[in-house]
Amino acid sequence: MKANSRLIVVSNRAPSDGPPSGGLVVALQDCLKARGGLWVGTSGKFTDNPANRFTDVDGDGYQIKTFDLSPGEQQGYYLSYANGVLWPMCHRRADLIDITEGAYEAYIGVNRRLAKMLAQICTSHDQIWVHDYHFMPLASCLRAEGVTATLGYFHHIPFPTPQDLQALPQAEDFSGWLADFDLVGLQTEADVGTALELFRQQDRSEFLSNGNLLYRGREFMLRSFPIGIDTEGFQADACALDGRALANIPKDMRLIIGVDRLDYSKGLPNRLRAFGRYLSHRADDDARATFLQVAPPTREALQAYQDVRRECEHIAGTINGQHAELGWNPINYLHRAIPRTQLAALYRTAAVGMVTPFCDGMNLVAKEYVAAQDPDDPGVLILSRGAGAAEDLDAALIVNPYDISEMADAIAIALTMPLDERIARNAQLLRRVKDSDIQRWTTNFLTVLSQSKNQPLVPTPTFQARAATASVEE
Ligand code: ADQ
């Protein structure tokens, strides 16, 4: 890190009171505590005409600054554009994109408002690390404000293909949003390949001999940084409670577990169907297995999320109706979040972990399931090839999330896999999980960011022209 350089982390939500909600928050907090610094994000409060200044909140050894959104900004920036346009586009679901009037303007408006506030407090020595698709244009907005700090961006979700991007009305701006950062981090090598393909197709982009990209006069870096978990912390959590007692699972019952936000990208309906198919085809003397799906609600204001919830409830109800016996419901479907220690104990108890998204940036549940296993008697991970995690975790049973009978067969294979094969697969998976844990991810990203050199500090021309015409709510 440069002399006097301060780390500023930007994410949609600033960390709030109470225990951290996940490994990413823990890792960034650790990193800020160690280096000192600042975390900036929305407060979670909505106020009419929010002030264009930050509110200071006490952090544990670092600063937190929050800002409120107006109800209109929450609707336009967060729900309609970030989660109604960018999320489905990046998850190969252009059919779910809902382009609503004023959403893009609200999205750009929040990014510009944040850039103006950040411009007041940052110096050229600072490193600003921006997280995720809510703030893709933030570097362009900061450059337009004359900010000369080093800017890094990490894209937590899949990178869209050039075909996906055709569904975005602002497709022309997309490459410039990225190029205005100094470093763009993606989850996988496959994502980097997709991004390079996008730039290859652009006029005025050039691949430089130092490995960087030049786009419309700006040089920047594009690299993969596969995100991980706090492996040791998770291993310790997994031993703290008895998962079998927690879920009231009889000794002779096998547990299959799925844990996901209830998002259409996670492939829940097909996973439930695969379990139903497994039940229909299992031999009468096979040990019974219960499927526990933990699926907390998310973004329920959007129709696509209401639809997937209804679909899951219908499928789970039908399968239970067909296969339940006195004292045994094959599917136990929890529509809420549960504490991390309980989750870790349940992973450890489960003979099978099913992670079958259609499309996922990485998927931390896959890594958590591996870390939580007893190395002497581990369970089996069934993993979709659509998850970024499959790039590294190829010792899992890799499945096609669209092929229900293949997933049903994988359940049968997993439930009968010999102990020595389970041990060998888990040991290999655990090595990979440890190799890319969250502390290493943070350090790697920030090391490369420190090496990225500051480029000509003007925003890309396309963005300047468009931003000038967008009506901005300030
Ligand atoms: P998500 O889409 O949220 O993250 P994921 O990576 O699986 O997906 O992370 C979910 C986290 O929430 C996990 O730590 C999990 O334990 C926790 N969680 C899920 N359901 C829970 C429940 N019912 N109760 C308690 N905790 C629960 C986005 C991208 C991913 C990428 C991550 C990190 O979509 O692809 O891996 O960011 O970059």
The size of the chain, in residues, is 474
Q: How far is the CA of 260 from the centre of ligand 1 (A)?
A: 7
Mean pLDDT over each residue of the chain, to the nearest integer: 92
State the DSSP string of 295-339. -----TTSHHHHHHHHHHHHHHHHHHHHH-BTTB-SEEEE-S---
Flag whether 277 is in a domain. yes
Helix (H, G, I), strand (E, B) or coil at 354: strand
Q: How far is the CA of 344 from the centre of ligand 1 (A)?
A: 13
Write the CATH number for 296: 3.40.50.2000
Of the candidates 68, 180, 360, 392, the residue annotated as catalytic is: 360
pLDDT value for 472: 32
251 burial type by CB count under 10 A (0-12 exposed, 13-18 middle, 19+ buried): exposed
Flag whether 139 is in a domain. yes
Q: Which domain holds residue 235?
A: 231-435
Q: Which atom of ligand 1 is nearest to the CA of 229?
A: 14
Q: How far is CA 309 from CA 62, 170, 264, 321, in A?
A: 39, 30, 9, 18
Q: How far is the CA of 365 from the centre of ligand 1 (A)?
A: 6
CA distance linking residue 299 with residue 304, whole number of Å? 9
* Domains: count for the chain: 2
Flag whether 375 is in a domain. yes
Nearest to 423 by CA among 383, 395, 382, 391: 395
Asked whether residue 465 falls in the same domain as residue 342, the answer is no
Q: Which atom of ligand 1 is nearest to the CA of 366?
A: 7
Flag whether 417 is in a domain. yes
Q: How confident is the model at residue 287 (pLDDT cuts 50, 70, 90)?
A: confident
Please compute the mean of the pLDDT values over residues 284-312 and round it to a whole number: 92
Asked whether residue 102 falls in the same domain as residue 72, the answer is yes
Q: How far is the CA of 363 from the centre of ligand 1 (A)?
A: 6
Flag whether 362 is in a domain. yes
364 lines ligand 1 (CB under 6 A): yes
pTM above 0.85, yes or no: yes
Q: Whose CA is nearest to atom 23 of ligand 1?
A: 337
Q: How confident is the model at residue 469 (pLDDT cuts 50, 70, 90)?
A: very low
Asked whether residue 255 falls in the same domain as residue 386, the answer is yes
Asked whether residue 30 falls in the same domain as residue 109, the answer is yes
237 lines ligand 1 (CB under 6 A): no
Cα angle 462, 193, 200 (rounded to 5 degrees) comes to 40
Q: How far is the CA of 383 from the centre of ligand 1 (A)?
A: 15
Q: Is pLDDT of 210 > 70?
A: yes
Of the candidates 155, 156, 191, 263, the residue annotated as catalytic is: 156
Asked whether residue 223 falls in the same domain as residue 248, the answer is no
Q: Whose CA is nearest to atom 35 of ligand 1?
A: 361
Flag whether 474 is in a domain. no
Flag whether 190 is in a domain. yes
Please compute the mean of the pLDDT values over residues 152-174 and round it to a whole number: 96
Asked whether residue 203 falls in the same domain as residue 316, the answer is no
Instruction: Give catalytic status of residue 134 as yes or no.
Output: no
Please compute the mean of the pLDDT values over residues 130-152 and round it to a whole number: 97
Asked whether residue 51 falls in the same domain as residue 143, the answer is yes
Flag whether 2 is in a domain. no
Asked whether residue 443 falls in the same domain as residue 320, the answer is no
Asked whether residue 177 falls in the same domain as residue 41, the answer is yes
How many beta carbons lie within 10 A of that of residue 29, not counting itself? 18
259 lines ligand 1 (CB under 6 A): yes
Q: Tens digit of pLDDT for each residue in 47-95?
A: 999 999 999 998 888 999 999 999 999 999 999 999 999 999 999 999 9
**Phi and psi of 160, rounded to 5°?**
-70, 145
Nearest to 164 by CA among 248, 246, 15, 265: 265
Asked whether residue 30 falls in the same domain as residue 165, the answer is yes
Nearest to 271 by CA among 141, 403, 115, 177: 403
Q: Whose CA is nearest to atom 19 of ligand 1?
A: 260
Instruction: Give catalytic status of residue 284 as yes or no.
Output: no
Q: State both tokens at 341.
A: 């220690």
Indicate the helix (H) or strand (E) that contains 352.
strand 352-355
Pocket test for ligand 1, best of 261, 292, 305 (most atoms within 8 A of CB): 261
Q: Tens digit of pLDDT for each residue in 364-419?
A: 999 999 999 999 999 999 999 999 999 999 999 999 999 999 999 999 999 999 99
State the DSSP string of 388-433. GGGGT-TTSEEE-TT-HHHHHHHHHHHHT--HHHHHHHHHHHHHHH
Q: Tens digit of pLDDT for each residue in 424-465?
A: 999 999 999 999 999 999 999 999 999 886 544 444 555 554
Asked whether residue 154 falls in the same domain as residue 300, the answer is no
Asked whether residue 182 falls in the same domain as residue 241, the answer is no
